[in-house]
Structure 1
């Protein structure tokens, strides 16, 4: 087959998909991007997280926001939605992982990854406008530094690298990053609502760099189109079927053909699509390892909350994440904030419970703490001004634990489920996170003079950790016996199909993974030939 509607169709517009869109267009390909979420102008984002229809993603209920929430038996997942994917609601935090990530046994024998990815990390940092050190110090930053000192790890404390245009607060300027080719920008006002959606225009979302440049060069991005099928064609190429996102009727189903397809729908979206296509025979040669080595970044989300807003502390002022420290050699702790008024996610918080107890013990601990001091727990647990009374502690590890995902039929539909996988069991709680939250709470009470307590989450009470960084399951490998894609990100057995999102990441990076996903995508796309040129990548081994 030689007559295709497109040269390349890209499924998803997050960090990997946006890189693919720009770089493939620069190489002369006709490119179309499908994104399940909606397109946002700066003023379209929710003012606070209470504007549920603009904040949460539940299209069947008329909610077309930026925040997806998925649940598996072993983890609850926070992800992004919209043109720009996770960049719309991530915390702008762009760390490069340490040596342990690059030396993970899953991929260390394939290449010297730390050396090979170094120039692509540099490109990713330039494109995403990374400021290597958050430039302000306020109460939260002092509390985090003090907590690190109290834990005996003060030497690991640092200000975070962030993707934000600071400039002059509130001042609109011509594009400062790409010689005027990108959109105008407005200096950060430190409003704290990075993860609800930046209405200011300061956050370096993908619509401010990769996607803006890609569209200017002719890439077509179709929003609110969910890909329901990617089917290999008998004579080569693929048929890609989409329907209108969230439609109950009049789905508007359409099918286009493309010579090649890039999957970048986020780990959940890419895995779900691949599992279904393998099950239905549309992509029959996908490796049997699909779903293995699914990672959660070994995360926990705990924190500290005061009974009232400390007058001397502006806890909600700043960008979403500003500092971090290492509580031990494999555990990384960051402060997280929402801006004033964005209190909805506080509904996930509750008292901190002993993680080494069974379900009955954990529930009993909630009841005991509540009955022991009901007024205090009510004041701690209210959502009123929650974002101004607390600090979230995001804790991540490089630990070698994983889940294995597979399909199950539920209520007549095929959906993903999980089981414990390779390595250590995926943790339902992290003792290090509890220690960090308690140290932050102690420092916060000392600074603010208001009773403060460490806090956990309701999912953790029921043995289900939270993660904002769902990764893996279709990982880089040396053969189809050990993973789903080769070192060029081509799917084993279907070399015209590529994966360049978090599903390709083979190990827990222990830091926010957005920069790594971007760098991996930059590397993968650098090997693509220009349109019409000879492909010098080695052919895949036969399956």
Structure 2
């Protein structure tokens, strides 16, 4: 049933899906399908027409959503995916789909008038962010009172804008976080399935040791070693063979051109090239872009009605629609899925949702920091934008930390070692409904990040002491600040597995309503979470199709 997507020859299904994506981009369509438009007698290719009914709707096109759509399509279930962002595969006037990090334009950001990169300054100078025209760009920074969250916008969700680090969590910690999930099944079956479908690969260690593009990582490895800390290579969905071609001048540059947070033009196996292409290739899945679901309600017969706003890429709402379905899968991410359910519960649209909806949110212990190296220990003017190495101190009994050795591809020597630390922070936030704004707002305070900051400080203090170095205080805005604890890349929780849902993502209190994304994971997983989200979605949808979908057909 499941395709071997590690085969270098694209499957027929993926070829069909990739052709559909390409055709939609060329024609400027917001509807993406590999099947002809359905007739009254053939409902194989659903569309987001107002008043229409489809068997299954998936909200979002991120990791959990993409898994669900593919497996539903393989099972023969006509499935409609609703994505609030746009399709990113049509080159702009400069010949590129995405803009670069050093010269961002409107493609970079989701309806912002100025970019909001994680590094706010360099030498306290405002030289990183740029004024831009508001547009349906690829990266959003969602602001709450004391925390902001980076999310991807577009077909492929976060896979478009992340660093691609495909890390499987330590089994002992996975068992601690999700004790109700059979870990043996996950590590023997679903993690390997996810890695194969995501096209995870590994860097050539010999090339890593020789290339100038990872000097920054080797410098950090040496300095960690002086503090008695070990490092580990990290697999990725970026094609490392393509990267070697970039370095050799035989392939177009992307990772070696400083592209990552605003999208990679080449080399990256984002979801639109893997799961989503295969889903479209089943002929049963349609993606509608620039369609934002604003509300959900249940009808007397148990089906669901979605209120949907269709917009253009400049943000103008061009249509209000209502679409109904039998099976509804929420894959809009920790923020999006949680907000839809919190709003539905507290407005009375889905009153049987329990009090656990909105609870258990966390930033995966994300803390960013930078260190200043000695002038005789440069990190390199040329740096790959794709991380390949991490400091692994997760077995530390008092302050577990897994720290990505992050690049700072400025195109010049900075003497900066940059890190994204993932810590074991037990603090959790919650989402509550604000009637005045019709939004779910996050209750989270900076004080709740103190355990994460202390854990990161413990590790990097040791590195600084061993190397007689110090922190950089100029990278995260105009204030003196050595740890960035007010934003995160890895939002998790809000609809926790086994609390807001049953053990397979079925939402408590309702039939045929499911959560299939990072909202299921209670705030922390110890590593970059997308492989875990993907594998958990594979596990859950297998059971749901067998017991709910096929049983109802």
Q: Same fold (TM over 0.5)?
A: yes
Q: Which residue is equivalent to 2:156?
A: 84
Runs of 4+ residues deviating >6 angstroms? 185-188, 439-446
Q: Which residue is equivalent to 2:287?
A: 221
Pick from 101, 107, 110: which aligns with 1:57?
Answer: 110
Q: Which residue is equivalent to 2:273?
A: 208
Over 3 Å counting, the alpha-carbon distance change for 1:252 and 1:121 in structure 2 is same
Pick from 407, 423, 431: which aligns with 1:397?
Answer: 423
Over 3 Å counting, the alpha-carbon distance change for 1:272 and 1:337 in structure 2 is same
CA contact (8 A) 1:303 1:441 kept: no
Question: Does 2:540 match 1:533?
Answer: no
CA contact (8 A) 2:367 2:484 kept: no
1:101-140 equivalent positions in 2, closer than 5 A: 101-104=173-176, 107-108=178-179, 110-133=180-203, 135=205, 136-137=208-209, 138-140=214-216
1:133-532 equivalent positions in 2, closer than 5 A: 133=203, 135=205, 136-137=208-209, 138-154=214-230, 157-169=231-243, 190-200=256-266, 202-218=267-283, 219-245=285-311, 250-304=317-371, 313-314=379-380, 316-327=382-393, 328-329=396-397, 330-340=400-410, 390-409=416-435, 412-419=437-444, 425-427=448-450, 430-437=453-460, 453=472, 457-458=476-477, 464-477=485-498, 483-529=499-545
Over 3 Å counting, the alpha-carbon distance change for 1:187 and 1:69 in structure 2 is closer
Q: Distance in 2 between matches of 1:191 and 1:463?
A: 25
Q: Distance in 2 between matches of 1:440 and 1:203?
A: 32
Q: Which residue is equivalent to 1:346?
A: none
Over 3 Å counting, the alpha-carbon distance change for 1:315 and 1:244 in structure 2 is farther
What stretches of structure 2 of length at least 5 have no aligned partner? Answer: 1-42, 44-50, 114-132
Over 3 Å counting, the alpha-carbon distance change for 1:224 and 1:30 in structure 2 is same
What whole-Å deviation, never above 9, does each CA across 1:411-467 have from its counterpart, x for those lacking one? x4434131469xx94437513423555666789999xxxx98466634995995321
The alpha carbon displacement at 1:249 in A equals 5.1
Over 3 Å counting, the alpha-carbon distance change for 1:490 and 1:21 in structure 2 is same
Q: Distance in 1 between matches of 2:109 and 2:52?
A: 36
TM-score (norm 2): 0.75
CA contact (8 A) 1:428 1:464 kept: no
Number of residue pairs matched? 461
Please give the secondary structure, in 2, of the residue aligned with 1:427: helix
What whole-Å deviation, never above 9, does each CA across 1:345-403 have from its counterpart, x for those lacking one? xxxxxxxxxxxxxxxxxxxxxxxxxxxxxxxxxxxxxxxx69x5533210012332211
CA contact (8 A) 1:76 1:464 kept: no
Q: Distance in 2 between matches of 1:433 and 1:518?
A: 27
What stretches of structure 1 of length at least 5 have no aligned partner? Answer: 173-184, 342-384, 478-482, 537-543
CA contact (8 A) 1:15 1:518 kept: yes
1:20-59 equivalent positions in 2, closer than 5 A: 20-41=68-89, 43-48=96-101, 50-58=103-111
The alpha carbon displacement at 1:153 in A equals 1.6
Over 3 Å counting, the alpha-carbon distance change for 1:13 and 1:463 in structure 2 is closer
Q: Which residue is equivalent to 2:170?
A: 98
CA contact (8 A) 1:92 1:320 kept: yes
Q: Distance in 2 between matches of 1:443 and 1:32?
A: 55
Q: Distance in 2 between matches of 1:46 and 1:124?
A: 29
Q: Structure 1 residues 126-135 or 87-96, which shifts more?
A: 126-135
Over 3 Å counting, the alpha-carbon distance change for 1:265 and 1:515 in structure 2 is same
Q: Distance in 1 between matches of 2:549 and 2:175?
A: 36
What whole-Å deviation, never above 9, does each CA across 1:318-339 have from its counterpart, x for those lacking one? 2421111134352111111254
Q: Distance in 1 between matches of 2:381 and 2:363?
A: 28
Over 3 Å counting, the alpha-carbon distance change for 1:134 and 1:432 in structure 2 is farther
Q: Structure 1 residues 217-226 or 202-211, which shifts more?
A: 217-226
Please give the secondary structure, in 2, of the residue aligned with 1:103: helix
The alpha carbon displacement at 1:237 in A equals 1.1
Over 3 Å counting, the alpha-carbon distance change for 1:96 and 1:169 in structure 2 is closer
Over 3 Å counting, the alpha-carbon distance change for 1:336 and 1:230 in structure 2 is same
Q: Which residue is equivalent to 1:75?
A: 147
Q: Distance in 2 between matches of 1:416 and 1:90?
A: 24
Q: Distance in 1 between matches of 2:218 and 2:364?
A: 26
Over 3 Å counting, the alpha-carbon distance change for 1:257 and 1:307 in structure 2 is farther
Q: Which residue is equivalent to 2:37?
A: none
CA contact (8 A) 1:445 1:452 kept: no
CA contact (8 A) 1:8 1:30 kept: yes
TM-score (norm 1): 0.76
Please report the RMSD computed on the Cα atoms of aligned residues, expressed in angstroms.
3.4
CA contact (8 A) 2:342 2:440 kept: no
